């Protein structure tokens, strides 16, 4: 074995049937093939694959160049756009986190991953069923881009399986897009039932799995064909890299890979390296995000200024029973609805927070608070609430500090609401 680490075995996609390693063990070992973590003669000597920067790849002679162009470039040096071991290692690790997956393609953002996956499965004349609680830019891609290519999007209620089965009966429906829990409002979908229905109709299923990550919800083993992550959030985990990924079954991976190549999609080796570094600690980070967010969600539920807490692990969240059945954990992102008040009262709450940043995105180590208005991003359902909504991302700070901060924020909200 020489320098080669006993653990740097590199498990091939498709071997997941006889691979009974637990998810946390996979997180530590995945993507560390000896040929990616070594020097000549010392395969596997380095723990993590280093940053391999390259555009041009040099060949010995014309014959070698021709041979390379004529064979598969998957995980082989060919030209920088097809990646180097730094990105292959991250893609491989994400594949290993999804039992049943054949491979993963990486993208420069989560939205780029969603857009490419949709372009890979749809063609002019097709219809797409899109969950009404989808991430807003996902909706925009459908209505502002797919629409122009003759692909019609039909939005459906995340909680209405009857409405969805009617939609699936339309012969032109080609794809079903799921996001569970939904963006901003956190409805949990019955993914095993919905994907089984879709399969009966020959409809491909795609899921935005950014909230749970494959660690708390392995999407492919719940029936999904194509699983999408905004790696920008929990995979990177440190608010310093934009990235997306698409992980697919054997049946779909070739099409995803080909489409990504045709669009020239790739990630920089430096970003892949940072994302791989983030991935190794996903287990411990998510556990802390989960515990702190739950403590704060339960505290908020008991405050008179709060009408509702939208958190999949709380009983009054739509689909809570499905979350209990299908997910092995919850993460740091949830919303709450204020009891009365208006935009100004909500801004008084958020503006004075000392420990929460105000900004888009989430999934980093830091807490964030965002005013959200779900009614603006609904067309198949009606969003009704007792007051304005706030979305929180609970970071890795001490939850006692965050609760004290929110407590003062609710007092500012109350003063504006009642004094106004
Ligand atoms: C942030 C986010 C995305 C998009 O990811 P970017 O990397 O910001 O493009 C997609 N889906 C969900 C659920 C998100 O929260």
Residue 99: closest CA among 200, 220, 194: 220
pLDDT score at 69: 85
Distance from first CA to last CA of the chain, Å, rounded? Answer: 74
CA-CA-CA-CA dihedral for 119, 323, 406, 382, to nearest 10: 60
Contacts of 124 (CB under 8 A, 6+ apart): 149, 150, 151
CA of 128 relative to ligand 1 center, distance in Å = 20
**Ligand 1 near 173 CB (within 6 A):** no
| Residue 247 preceded by cis peptide, ω within 30 | no
pLDDT score at 16: 46
Which ranges in the chain are annotated with CATH 3.40.640.10? 6-279
pLDDT score at 39: 85
Angle of helix 399-419 relative to helix 343-351, nearest 10 degrees, comes to: 150
pLDDT score at 375: 93
* Count of residues making up the chain: 420
For the chain, the 3-state helix, strand and coil shares in percent, each to the nearest 5, are 40, 15, 45
CA of 239 relative to ligand 1 center, distance in Å = 12
pLDDT score at 153: 98
Which ranges in the chain are annotated with CATH 3.90.1150.10? 282-417
pLDDT tens-place string over residues 264-312: 999 999 999 999 999 999 999 999 999 999 999 999 999 999 999 999 9
pTM of the model: 0.95
Tell me which residues of the chain have a pLDDT lower than 50: 1-16
Contacts of 155 (CB under 8 A, 6+ apart): 130, 131, 132, 139, 379, 380
Reply yes or no on whether 234 is catalytic.
Answer: no
pLDDT score at 5: 42
Atom of ligand 1 nearest to the CA of 211: 13
CA of 18 relative to ligand 1 center, distance in Å = 33
CA–CA dist 104, 102 (Å, integer): 7
**Ligand 1 near 111 CB (within 6 A):** yes
pLDDT score at 302: 98
Reply yes or no on whether 377 is catalytic.
Answer: no
Out of 12, 81, 123, 172, the active site residue is 81
Pairing label, strands 389-393, 333-338: antiparallel
CA of 17 relative to ligand 1 center, distance in Å = 31
**Ligand 1 near 230 CB (within 6 A):** yes
CA–CA dist 409, 87 (Å, integer): 43
Task: For the domain covering 282-417, report its CATH number.
Answer: 3.90.1150.10
Pocket test for ligand 1, best of 111, 182, 227, 238 (most atoms within 8 A of CB): 111
Atom of ligand 1 nearest to the CA of 243: 7
Looking at residue 187, the DSSP 8-state letter turns out to be P
Pocket test for ligand 1, best of 131, 133, 135 (most atoms within 8 A of CB): 135
**Ligand 1 near 109 CB (within 6 A):** yes
Pocket test for ligand 1, best of 118, 230, 275 (most atoms within 8 A of CB): 230
pLDDT score at 305: 98
Atom of ligand 1 nearest to the CA of 179: 13
CA of 161 relative to ligand 1 center, distance in Å = 25
Reply yes or no on whether 233 is catalytic.
Answer: yes
Residue 220: closest CA among 279, 260, 229: 229
So what CATH class is 6-279?
Answer: alpha beta
Out of 132, 190, 208, 271, the active site residue is 208
Out of 26, 33, 174, 233, the active site residue is 233
Reply yes or no on whether 18 is catalytic.
Answer: no
pLDDT score at 38: 87
pLDDT score at 72: 82
């Amino acid at each position: 074995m020489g320098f080669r680490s006993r653990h740097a075995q590199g498990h091939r996609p498709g071997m997941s049937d006889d691979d009974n390693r637990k998810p946390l063990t996979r997180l530590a070992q995945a993507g560390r093939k000896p040929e990616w973590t070594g020097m000549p003669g010392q395969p596997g000597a380095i723990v993590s694959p280093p940053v391999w920067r390259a555009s041009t790849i040099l060949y010995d002679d014309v014959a070698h160049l021709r041979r390379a162009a004529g064979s598969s470039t998957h995980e082989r040096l060919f030209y920088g756009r097809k990646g180097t071991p730094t990105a292959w290692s991250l893609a491989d690790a994400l594949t290993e986190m999804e039992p049943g997956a054949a491979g993963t393609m990486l993208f420069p953002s989560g939205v780029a991953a969603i857009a490419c996956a949709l372009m890979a499965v749809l063609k002019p004349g097709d219809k797409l069923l899109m969950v009404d609680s989808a991430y807003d830019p996902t909706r925009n891609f459908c209505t502002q881009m797919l629409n122009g290519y003759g692909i019609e999007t039909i939005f459906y209620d995340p909680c209405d399986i009857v409405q969805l089965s009617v939609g699936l009966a339309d012969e032109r429906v080609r794809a079903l897009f799921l996001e569970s829990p939904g963006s901003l409002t956190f409805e949990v979908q019955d993914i095993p039932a919905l994907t089984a229905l879709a399969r009966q109709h020959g409809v491909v299923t795609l899921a935005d799995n950014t909230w749970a990550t494959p660690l708390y919800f392995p999407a492919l083993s719940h029936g999904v064909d194509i699983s999408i992550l905004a790696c920008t959030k929990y995979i990177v985990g440190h608010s310093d890299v934009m990235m997306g990924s698409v992980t697919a079954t054997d049946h779909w991976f070739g099409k995803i890979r080909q489409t990504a190549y045709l669009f020239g999609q790739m990630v920089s080796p430096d970003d892949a390296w940072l994302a791989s570094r983030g991935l190794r600690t996903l287990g411990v980070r998510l556990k802390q995000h989960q515990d702190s967010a739950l403590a704060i969600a339960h505290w908020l539920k008991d405050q008179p200024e709060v009408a509702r807490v939208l958190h999949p692990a709380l009983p009054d969240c739509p689909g809570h029973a499905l979350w209990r059945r299908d997910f092995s954990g919850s993460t740091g992102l949830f919303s709450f609805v204020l009891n009365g008040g208006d935009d100004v009262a909500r801004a008084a709450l958020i503006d004075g927070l000392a420990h929460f940043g105000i900004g888009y995105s989430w999934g980093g180590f830091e807490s964030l608070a965002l005013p959200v208005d779900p009614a603006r991003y609904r067309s198949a359902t009606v969003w009704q609430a007792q007051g304005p909504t706030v979305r929180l991302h609970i970071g890795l700070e001490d939850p006692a500090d965050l609760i004290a901060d929110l407590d003062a924020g609710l007092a500012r909200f109350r003063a504006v609401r009642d004094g106004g």
